[in-house]
Amino acid sequence: MALLSNTATLLGKELRTEFRSRELLTTTVVFILVVLILFSFAISPTTEESREFGPGLLWLAILFAASLMLQPCFLREQSNDTLSSLRLAVSDPFAIFLAKLIANTLFLLLTEVLMLPLFAVFYNIPILPKLPLLLLVLFLGSVGISVAGTALSAISAQARMRELLLPLLLLPLLTPVLVVSATVCVALLDREPVVHWQGIGFLAAFDLIFLTVLWLFGEYLLEE
């Protein structure tokens, strides 16, 4: 119970910090937008090609954006020297991770929901018929990105060249999320949509597995 109330308090703190400035959200939205437009310049797809490659490009943009957005997650604590007080404040250090990863998931989801209509317009893909399932895939994928990303940003915050290191550590690790969510989204956005429940289950399994690893080893990541 202490874990839940600690997490709720910390989550409130994360959200307050972000919504005071909205720095992360605005930069991430603009970043995804720029990447999507550049992709379409690079390959100038036809409608059919858009359906085939669009979702992959969208996920790639999300992944790149996430690897930038997750940087300040622990860096902010470090530059303000607040990590040790955070650790003293909570009974279980997992609460720190839980709060941060929930906050990161929310930020990611918010940017994705903002980007989705623009993606549909630019790539000429109707998204409305399968919207609930699409949102489910986006949610599961974002949880996966946030779980692994929060853990690795705790690692990279303690190293040199951290800005470059996080994408290097994170992107190969997220290959399964990219592969599966892109495949599932392509099938969902097809002219005759197919629902790959197996893929959705896989994403949920990925989230659970990494959440368990984080729960087991998270406290060591925060050692002073």
Partner 1 sequence: MAKRVVFAAISFLLVAVAGYAAFYVAPTERTMGLIQRIFYFHVSSAWAGMDVLIACFVANLLYVWKRDSKYDALGVACAEVGLVFMTVVLITGPIWGHPVWGIWWTWDARLTSTFVLWLLYVSYLLLRTLVEEPERRALLSSLFGIFAFVDVPLVWFSIRWWRTQHPAPVFMGGPNSGLADPTMKKVFYFCVLVMHVFALFLVLERYALEKMKHEIDILKRELEVA
Q: Name the residues that contact partner 1, by CB under 8 A.
A: 148, 151-152, 155, 158-161, 165, 168-169, 172-173, 175-176, 179-180, 183, 199, 202, 206, 209-210, 213, 217, 220-221, 223
Cα separation, 90 vs 3, in Å, equals 8
Q: Between 7 and 156, whose beta carbon lies closer to partner 1?
A: 156
Q: Between 41 and 220, whose beta carbon lies closer to partner 1?
A: 220
At closest approach, how far in Å is the CB of 18 from partner 1? Answer: 26
Cα separation, 20 vs 42, in Å, equals 36
Q: Between 160 and 191, whose beta carbon lies closer to partner 1?
A: 160
Return all residues near 202 (Cβ < 8 A) that are at least 6 apart: 176, 180
Q: What is the CA radius of gyration of the chain?
A: 18
Could you tell me if 144 and 63 are in contact, meaning their C-beta atoms sit under 8 angstroms apart? no
Which residue from 36, 31, 34 is spatially nearest to 122, judged by alpha carbons? 36
At closest approach, how far in Å is the CB of 171 from partner 1? Answer: 9
Q: Between 24 and 96, whose beta carbon lies closer to partner 1?
A: 96
